[in-house]
Amino acid sequence: MPRGGPPTDPPARGRRRSGRPWLIAAVVAVIAIAAGLVVVLVDRGGNEPAATTSVPDSVAARAITLQDDDGALARRLALAAYTAAPSSPATRSAMIALFGADVVPSAVNAGTGAVLSAAVSPDGRHVATGGTDGVITVWEVTDRTSLARLGSVTSTGWIGALAFNGGGDLLASGGTDGAVRLWNVHDPEHISRWSVARLYTDVVRTVAFSPDSNTLASAGADGTLALWDITDPAAPTQRSRADTATGGVYAVAFAPDGRTLALGGEDGTVRLWDIHDAAHPTPGAILRGHTRAVRAVTFTGDGALLVSGGVDATVRLWDLRDPASRPAGGHPRAARRGLKCGPRRCSRARGVRW
């Protein structure tokens, strides 16, 4: 370029970096305007108020799908969606998926024994832990980087399973004494026991609440599945019990619609049960693929995929629209660690090699 001529433009990459703050602001503005327009249309006679949250949620979903192809853009979209709708579960999930690997964990002294179980309340404000000392402790998540002890209660035996109900005011526990206990945690600083249900001849390894919180599922080392009516937590009643034929159960999970229960077994199978009538649960598809015990099962938000993890160091995705098919995506060794699942998609965590 001739001397004295106009200065050359900065490299395109530099322009993009310097424009990131206003790009985020622009996306936030577009989301806010779009959401506001939907509100106006609804107020003028529309009949679909649920659409008012669709714009930030859609941006959040797009961020998750872009994380492997364009991580920088995915982060900007996730941040913009969360800024526009911070209370949305979808935007919060996107933030965790895109930024979670950068969170530095903090440590607290949980007690005298090893921690065997933990559960997070649905609103994310409280964490319950239990372990070999038989103590259940409820913690407050103070600023997302530290925990503050609120209250503790001593149970019997080791505590290997914990779960909150949908309202976060009821906690279920299972342990080595074979009992299922319900705890009143409405005031976490003063935990009190609602009830004790005794059924099992061996360790209770897993407990889970149905989406409507009216039913509790429990299972354990003796292979028995029990469904409890807990509409009155002071007097739970057994709706049904069944032999799962697994040799023992490590994990249970309700589908989002509450009609299907997934069990992870010692025999390496994942079994689906139809529980739309909790008094008469019916065994369904048996998903085979793991070569050793299945220790974890969970559904994606839409219920279309089931994720299972086993002692064979594999994570498998099952497409429940065709339970007899091979694991979804055709990669049975999807990840030994670092698999992340959003509302509709599971993907590789950043920095993890498959």
DSSP 5-44: SPPPPPPHHHHHHHTHHHHHHHHHHHHHHHHHHHHHHHHT
- Of 344 and 198, more confident: 198
Query: Tokens at residue 16, please?
Result: 């993009």
pLDDT classification of 15: cutoffs 50, 70, 90: very low
- Tell me what the mean pLDDT of segment 133-162 comes to: 87
pLDDT at 4: 44
Percentage of the chain lying above the pLDDT 90 cut: 40
- Of 348 and 231, more confident: 231
Is pLDDT above 70 for 140?
Answer: yes
Determine the distance from the C-alpha atom of residue 72 to the mean position of all C-alpha atoms in its chain, rounded to a whole number.
Answer: 25
Whether the CB-CB separation of 118 and 166 falls below 8 Å is answered with no
User: Average per-residue pLDDT in the chain?
Assistant: 78
pLDDT at 342: 43
- Tell me what the mean pLDDT of segment 203-219 comes to: 93
pLDDT at 190: 93
Look at residues 260, 302, 253 and name the one whose alpha carbon lies nearest to residue 89: 302
In which element (H, E) is residue 337 found? Answer: none
Reduced to 3 states (helix: H, G, I; strand: E, B; else coil), residue 223 is coil
Q: Lowest mean pLDDT: which of 27-36, 168-177, 217-226? A: 27-36
Domain range 244-354, its CATH number among 2.130.10.10, 3.50.50.60, 3.30.70.1450, 3.40.50.300: 2.130.10.10
pLDDT classification of 332: cutoffs 50, 70, 90: very low
Percentage of the chain lying above the pLDDT 70 cut: 73
Is pLDDT above 50 for 282?
Answer: yes
pLDDT classification of 191: cutoffs 50, 70, 90: very high
pLDDT classification of 292: cutoffs 50, 70, 90: very high
| Interatomic CA distance for residues 109 and 281, integer angstroms | 42
Q: Which residues contact 232 (CB under 8 A, 6 or more apart)?
A: none
Is pLDDT above 70 for 66?
Answer: yes
- Tell me what the mean pLDDT of segment 195-219 comes to: 91
- Tell me what the mean pLDDT of segment 56-82 comes to: 84
pLDDT at 24: 53
Is pLDDT above 50 for 181?
Answer: yes
Q: How far is CA 128 from CA 76, 115, 139, 336, in A?
A: 33, 11, 6, 26
Most confident of 17-26, 67-76, 276-285: 276-285
- SS3 string, 203-222, reads CEEEEEECCCCCEEEEEECC
Is pLDDT above 50 for 331?
Answer: no
Longest dimension (CA), the chain: 89
- How do residues 72-109 score in pLDDT, each as one tens digit? 888 888 888 888 888 788 888 888 888 776 666 667 77
Is pLDDT above 60 for 337?
Answer: no
Reduced to 3 states (helix: H, G, I; strand: E, B; else coil), residue 260 is strand
Determine the distance from the C-alpha atom of residue 84 to the mean position of all C-alpha atoms in its chain, rounded to a whole number.
Answer: 23
Helix residue ranges per DSSP H, the chain:
12-18, 20-43, 54-66, 71-84, 89-99
pLDDT at 80: 83
Q: Which residues contact 38 (CB under 8 A, 6 or more apart)?
A: 46, 51, 52, 54, 55
Query: Tokens at residue 35, please?
Result: 């959401």
pLDDT at 123: 85
Is pLDDT above 70 for 255?
Answer: yes
Query: Kind of pairing, strands 260-265 and 305-310?
Result: unpaired
In which element (H, E) is residue 119 found? Answer: strand 115-120
- Of 96 and 5, more confident: 96
Structural domain boundaries of the chain? 17-102, 113-208, 244-354
